[in-house]
Structure 1
Amino acid sequence: MTTQHTVRLTVGQAIVRFLAQQRVERDGITAPFFGGAFGIFGHGNVAGIGQALLQYREEFPYHQGRNEQGLVHAAIGYAKAKNRLGALAVTTSIGPGAANMITGAGTATSNRLPVLLLPSDYFATRRTGYVLQQIEDPTSPANSTNDAFRAVSRFWDRVSRPEQLSEALLGAMRVLTSPADTGAATVAVPQDVQAEAYDFPVEFFRERVWYVPRARADLAALHRAADAVRQARRPLIIAGGGVIYSEATEALESFVEATGIPVGVTQAGKASLRWDHPLNVGALGASGSKYANQLAAQADLIIGIGTRYTDFTSASNTLFQDPDVRFLNLNVQEFDAYKEGALAVIGDARESLRELGELLGEWRVPEDHRRQAIELADEWRHEVDRIVAPDPAAETLPQAVAIGIVNTFTKADDVVINAAGSMPGDLHRVWRPGGPLGYGIEYGYSCMGYEIAAGVGAKLADRDREVFTFIGDGTYLMLSAELLTSVQEGLKQIVILVDNKGYGSIEALSKTVGSQGFGCRFLYRDQATGQFSDRTLDIDFAQNAASYGATVYTATTADELRDALAAAVAGEETAVIYTVVDAQGRFGGSGAWWEVPVPQVAEIDSSNEARGVYDDHRATQRLYV
């Protein structure tokens, strides 16, 4: 009889020991999967996982933070910078500490990015009765705050006994390292279980390598795909984030040059083809350009590569107007591959592109289609040059000009980060990324408050890359505290804090749907009328940022912004550049629609007028089946 060797540890200690031994390998390159943990300690984890992080702090780094949602956002920024081949764990107390992570979990899962969440939970024994920070459910004592994570996690488990830990953590690792299923993995750990000792098998703590596969597509599906491409006269590729995550950028460029098929890019796929490639027609969809969208509207075959077809990409299913348009999707995720009634090729993007290219042989698009795409791409690049050029006559710096100026200070490996407001749209249109990992825009969830925290995570993932973080005044007020984390960790992050005196993006949207920008400006209330006045709130953002310990610069002109950027780039610390931009300084249009419901009946003229426009656009909406 063989005796299994064991080691006596608490569950919290076993979690940290296990995480420290996880490795990931793709294409023969092996690296540690976890870069450590973020955590805020409180009721539930302070003497459980918290004690374990103290005990193993030399082999598993711990990072402090200010807000649990911010910690998850930092972990997402880290995972994105690691191209999903690395992750961070996040531990919190029970109740409100755990609930604060739910938004972050949704952000991770929507963006298909791996984060491990370790929220504390009630006492598994229930010997104490109901405890502080526990939700009391009269229909089921088994329910807690952590059950709310089920809807926003790709994996969920509750470890009520030490014996369950191996199944929970191995299940979480399967999801975290899966190209198809990755997202937030939540393992809830009751506080008494965290501190409970158990004789764990030594084998559980061996170095374990998780191999990230390059799943090959079905050969018959590839042949069907090749036939569909050969029949097309006006094909268009939509390059999504899957191109970057599978490191398929070179394969995409080779495929495009061999076939002549033009490429439009989503937010996640913005850097999948170099911005100056002759057949890169740029941003596509509601936040795209009219040039790319013109090709999309007339395309007879849409080839979606690593995209999940959000409503921004499809312009709420109004973008693709050829009556006989067909869809061909290359995606590692079966769920995404079948969207829009597509012919599905399920497999790794890089390998699928290579194999499809081999089947196509010498086939190329008709020359008139290729020539039109090149002309439109060239027109768009000239338009970008015009948009970002400073206007000496402008009283306030337009947002796109500010973005263009920042872009001139970036190097090939630098990264730009943003998430919400009007800036993602402007960045999607005009930013020129230097490399595949240089565009860190979160637009799967468009989560306000993501930006600064994600910059912390991106910098922890690679301290040699410059991180430029754009954030608007509205989202800054929601979650600015991770500036202190950036300072605490000694990270150099350059934050461009853009003040447009309110929720400028939603104000513009509000006006287009007839709601007159109501509730979108930061205005004092008129005590006499009880309504908002015309007087803008006076907020000293520069002083607020300085109070966190950041080096702060103020820039109101193009020249001042350049000077501030030069100083920030030369420095070694977290810097904030505060600038005021024109809140309504929009430019051009995408030529595409985004559905935002408008009241069918109203007593406000602007709402009724907007409803007429809405009905006209909705009449062009299609279900692609």
Structure 2
Amino acid sequence: MRLTVSQALVNFLTAQYTERDGSEQRLIPAVLGIFGHGNVAGLAQALLEPPASRGFCQGESRISSGLPYHLARNEQGMVHTAVGYARMRNRLSTLACTTSIGPGATNMLTGAALATINRIPVLLLPSDHFATRVATPVLQELEDPRGHDISVNDAFRPLSKYFDRVQRPEQLPSALLAAMRVLTDPAETGAVTLALPQDVQAEAYDWPDELFAKRVWHIPRPVPEPAALHRAAALLRSAHRPLIIAGGGVIYSEASAALRRFAEVTGIPVADTQAGKGAVPWDHPAAVGGIGATGSPVANELARDADVVLGIGTRYSDFTTASRTVFAHPDVRFVNLNVARFDAAKHAGEMLVADARAGLEALTELLTESATHPDKIPDSRKRYEGARARWNAVVDHAYRLGLAPVPAQTEVLGALNEVLEPTDVVVQAAGSLPGDLQRLWRARDDKAYHVEYGYSCMGYEIAGALGVKMAAPEREVFALVGDGSYLMMAQEIVTAVSEGVKLNIVIVQNHGFASIGALSESVGSQRFGTAYRYRSEETGRLDGDRLPVDLAANAASLGADVIRARTIAEFRDAIATARAATRTTVVHIETDPLAPSPDSGAWWDVPVAEVSTLESTQGARKTYEQHMTAQRPLI
């Protein structure tokens, strides 16, 4: 079959499927893109033209061709949209992203880093300079004296789980198959980048028909190796104060029910990470809340006493371990159930390399014989029931502080948490909101809490929410975005409006970087450079009057309906109105960045200047050195 490289790529993608547990779905159901001179004659033309397998019918609707195209407004944003989509689909489907060469391509670098760090599959198709080099240097080409084969797209190499540059048509089949292998690998997935020289995109070649045959990529559920399973079970049996940490791998492997059963059989309390929140509902008897620097005091106190920690699908980030201070038992041991061997080996843990659901089911079966009856469950549950009740009272108070005239952010979250339905999805990524959310949000569904905290990328919220809604149109999706993140990237509001994808967006306006402001104060830097202000003639610094920025007006100019709320009562009404609306609706509310929020009782390692003339910094350094004494190598 004679097709251009771009036409062949599009036809190939329409025939790729994944399957797990008997459920089959398209691997790449759509393409996001922004066209420029690098791809307008290549991939754009191929997406316009009906697939070869159905014939080239003049004027056939693009909608019927099998690979819908969505016009994005920002290249980084469209990668975030693909990530939100893939995460909502438990990494069984994702979206492809095409850009022109030069700045269009490199705008995706941040998105690539986010996808790879979070182990979320996305297919990136940046255009590249001419493979023939006949017109070198072309517009936007990087000239590197070390070699003509270097382009700006080489910056994707360290950020991608797989990178290839298709310099000749003959290279396309092997590149595509390798790309699909990585996209469907539950352990080694992330950003996959295929750089496509603009001349090669338009070059024709005679392709074998089998390249375009339907291909199903079966997603495995690796089972634990028997000896490793018995070692893990023996270590758990020996524990006096065990603790489970549920990571994102629990949700991606659809192991939430298996985790709940395991916790009920063994009586072991369950703490969760940002990515694992919701795997066990907040009011389940075994749930003790978030773990680590942004977690709950209940989970962190249990972590300090734990002699055996069962980590499931977690990569043990510094927030999870409170910079390696939260696990304080002198003889603490780890059992790491993870599909990725790299993560299973962390903290010198007992490695249980397996799919989270398969591993939990095997552990449950093995431990059932020796598990105690409910009336003989270890005293762990009795130990934390009182603490959990006290913490719930603290959360209730934070939800209803009653500050005036400007409410606290915790009040906004409380009102939202109480108004939303269990299956409504909240999307967030950066600022002070992730900390408040992990500590205070009461998740009732394992897909209703979507906080990107592997990269914590400002600007992810709206673009990511678009992907979530595309993946789950039956759910209401709420993007929570602070003014700092909103100003980083709000363009995908336009995409949502143009596509008729209804989003609910909450803009929390606090006139600066609330999270970094608080952190700055804690390290003795006096909130320097963290507020949105005019430059003062008196001080020469950005500490003058507030800027007259109107984010609500900006959102309206991008096509969204906007509701301004001043009080929590107005906010509740606005959320109800937004939820019932059929168009993308923005609710704007101002909050007090200095309002208190409950503390996690844990630490995060942010180095403080060792010498300083500022008393605030000197005091912060002493506190820092005290916390450092609690850090452990965990080996």
TM interval, shorter chain, is over 0.9
8 Å Cα contact 1:136-1:144 kept in structure 2: yes
Q: Hey, what does 2:620 align to over in structure 1? A: 610
* AA matched with 2:340: Q
* AA matched with 1:554: R
Aligned-partner Cα distance in 2 for 1:86–1:502: 37
Q: Hey, what does 2:55 align to over in structure 1? A: none
Q: In the alignment, which of 268, 291, 297 is matched to residue 261 of structure 1?
A: 268
Cα separation, partners in 2 of 1:507 and 1:203, compared to 1, 3 Å? same
TM-score, normalised via structure 2 length = 0.96
Q: Hey, what does 2:516 align to over in structure 1? A: 506
8 Å Cα contact 1:281-1:376 kept in structure 2: no
Aligned-partner Cα distance in 1 for 2:620–2:420: 41
* AA matched with 2:448: G
- Report how many residues are paired: 618
Q: Hey, what does 2:210 align to over in structure 1? A: 203
- Kindly state the Cα deviation for residue 390 of structure 1 after the two structures are TM-superposed: 4.8
Cα separation, partners in 2 of 1:612 and 1:569, compared to 1, 3 Å? same
- Kindly state the Cα deviation for residue 529 of structure 1 after the two structures are TM-superposed: 4.3
8 Å Cα contact 1:390-1:558 kept in structure 2: no
Q: In the alignment, which of 443, 454, 469 is matched to residue 453 of structure 2?
A: 443
1:27 aligns with 2:25: no
Q: In the alignment, which of 34, 51, 74 is matched to residue 40 of structure 1?
A: 34
Aligned-partner Cα distance in 2 for 1:387–1:155: 45
- Please show how residues 135-174 of structure 1 align to structure 2 within 5 Å: 135-174=142-181
Task: For residue 552 of structure 1, give the secondary structure of its aligned residue in structure 2.
Answer: strand
Q: Hey, what does 2:390 align to over in structure 1? A: 379
Q: In the alignment, which of 380, 383, 387 is matched to residue 369 of structure 1?
A: 380
Task: For residue 502 of structure 1, give the secondary structure of its aligned residue in structure 2.
Answer: coil
Greater alpha carbon shift after TM alignment, 579-588 vs 236-245: 579-588
Once the two structures are superposed, residues 257-292 of structure 1 have per-residue CA deviations (whole angstroms, 9 ceiling, x without a partner) of: 000000100000001111110110001100001111
- Please show how residues 184-263 of structure 1 align to structure 2 within 5 Å: 184-263=191-270
* AA matched with 1:161: R
8 Å Cα contact 2:394-2:598 kept in structure 1: no
- Kindly state the Cα deviation for residue 528 of structure 1 after the two structures are TM-superposed: 5.2
Q: Hey, what does 2:135 align to over in structure 1? A: 128
8 Å Cα contact 2:426-2:480 kept in structure 1: yes
Once the two structures are superposed, residues 407-442 of structure 1 have per-residue CA deviations (whole angstroms, 9 ceiling, x without a partner) of: 222223211100000001111112122311111110
- Kindly state the Cα deviation for residue 42 of structure 1 after the two structures are TM-superposed: 0.7
* AA matched with 1:336: D
Q: In the alignment, which of 384, 399, 406 is matched to residue 396 of structure 1?
A: 406
1:531 aligns with 2:541: yes
Aligned-partner Cα distance in 2 for 1:216–1:577: 46
8 Å Cα contact 1:10-1:197 kept in structure 2: yes
* AA matched with 1:363: A
Aligned-partner Cα distance in 1 for 2:385–2:168: 62
- Kindly state the Cα deviation for residue 567 of structure 1 after the two structures are TM-superposed: 1.1
Task: For residue 35 of structure 1, give the secondary structure of its aligned residue in structure 2.
Answer: coil
* AA matched with 1:185: V
1:416 aligns with 2:426: yes
Aligned-partner Cα distance in 1 for 2:17–2:385: 44
1:109 aligns with 2:108: no
Task: For residue 617 of structure 2, give the secondary structure of its aligned residue in structure 1.
Answer: helix
Greater alpha carbon shift after TM alignment, 31-40 vs 546-555: 31-40
Q: In the alignment, which of 318, 339, 342 is matched to residue 335 of structure 1?
A: 342
8 Å Cα contact 2:76-2:109 kept in structure 1: yes
- Kindly state the Cα deviation for residue 170 of structure 1 after the two structures are TM-superposed: 0.8
Once the two structures are superposed, residues 144-188 of structure 1 have per-residue CA deviations (whole angstroms, 9 ceiling, x without a partner) of: 111111111111111111111111111111111111111110111
Q: Hey, what does 1:3 align to over in structure 2? A: none
Greater alpha carbon shift after TM alignment, 526-535 vs 506-515: 526-535
Aligned-partner Cα distance in 1 for 2:387–2:124: 45
Q: Hey, what does 1:577 align to over in structure 2? A: 587
Task: For residue 430 of structure 2, give the secondary structure of its aligned residue in structure 1.
Answer: coil
Cα separation, partners in 2 of 1:295 and 1:51, compared to 1, 3 Å? same
- Kindly state the Cα deviation for residue 143 of structure 1 after the two structures are TM-superposed: 1.1
8 Å Cα contact 1:551-1:574 kept in structure 2: yes
Q: In the alignment, which of 585, 600, 621 is matched to residue 590 of structure 1?
A: 600
Cα separation, partners in 2 of 1:71 and 1:399, compared to 1, 3 Å? same
Q: Hey, what does 2:551 align to over in structure 1? A: 541
Aligned-partner Cα distance in 1 for 2:525–2:390: 35
8 Å Cα contact 1:279-1:373 kept in structure 2: no
Q: Hey, what does 1:351 align to over in structure 2? A: 358
Once the two structures are superposed, residues 455-480 of structure 1 have per-residue CA deviations (whole angstroms, 9 ceiling, x without a partner) of: 11111112111001100000100101
Q: In the alignment, which of 490, 502, 506 is matched to residue 492 of structure 1?
A: 502
Aligned-partner Cα distance in 1 for 2:379–2:21: 39
* AA matched with 1:225: A
TM-score, normalised via structure 1 length = 0.97
8 Å Cα contact 1:240-1:268 kept in structure 2: yes
Aligned-partner Cα distance in 2 for 1:132–1:142: 16
Greater alpha carbon shift after TM alignment, 450-459 vs 360-369: 360-369
Aligned-partner Cα distance in 1 for 2:70–2:285: 44
- Kindly state the Cα deviation for residue 519 of structure 1 after the two structures are TM-superposed: 0.5
Q: Hey, what does 1:60 align to over in structure 2? A: 67
8 Å Cα contact 1:411-1:434 kept in structure 2: no
Q: Hey, what does 1:13 align to over in structure 2? A: 7
Q: In the alignment, which of 552, 567, 571 is matched to residue 557 of structure 1?
A: 567
Task: For residue 10 of structure 2, give the secondary structure of its aligned residue in structure 1.
Answer: helix
Task: For residue 387 of structure 1, give the secondary structure of its aligned residue in structure 2.
Answer: helix
Aligned-pair identity (%)? 54
Cα separation, partners in 2 of 1:324 and 1:449, compared to 1, 3 Å? same
Task: For residue 188 of structure 1, give the secondary structure of its aligned residue in structure 2.
Answer: strand
- Structure 1's unaligned 5+ residue stretches are 1-6
- Kindly state the Cα deviation for residue 89 of structure 1 after the two structures are TM-superposed: 0.1
* AA matched with 1:608: Q
Q: Hey, what does 1:4 align to over in structure 2? A: none
Task: For residue 314 of structure 1, give the secondary structure of its aligned residue in structure 2.
Answer: coil
* AA matched with 1:50: A
Aligned-partner Cα distance in 2 for 1:92–1:496: 30
Q: Hey, what does 2:56 align to over in structure 1? A: none
- Kindly state the Cα deviation for residue 588 of structure 1 after the two structures are TM-superposed: 2.0
- Structure 2's unaligned 5+ residue stretches are 51-61
Aligned-partner Cα distance in 2 for 1:197–1:493: 41
Greater alpha carbon shift after TM alignment, 11-20 vs 604-613: 604-613
Task: For residue 397 of structure 1, give the secondary structure of its aligned residue in structure 2.
Answer: coil
* AA matched with 2:88: A
1:287 aligns with 2:294: yes
Aligned-partner Cα distance in 2 for 1:50–1:172: 21
Aligned-partner Cα distance in 1 for 2:400–2:181: 48
8 Å Cα contact 1:154-1:175 kept in structure 2: yes
Task: For residue 189 of structure 2, give the secondary structure of its aligned residue in structure 1.
Answer: coil
8 Å Cα contact 1:504-1:583 kept in structure 2: yes
1:277 aligns with 2:284: yes
8 Å Cα contact 1:242-1:331 kept in structure 2: yes
1:98 aligns with 2:102: no
* AA matched with 2:387: L
* AA matched with 1:8: R
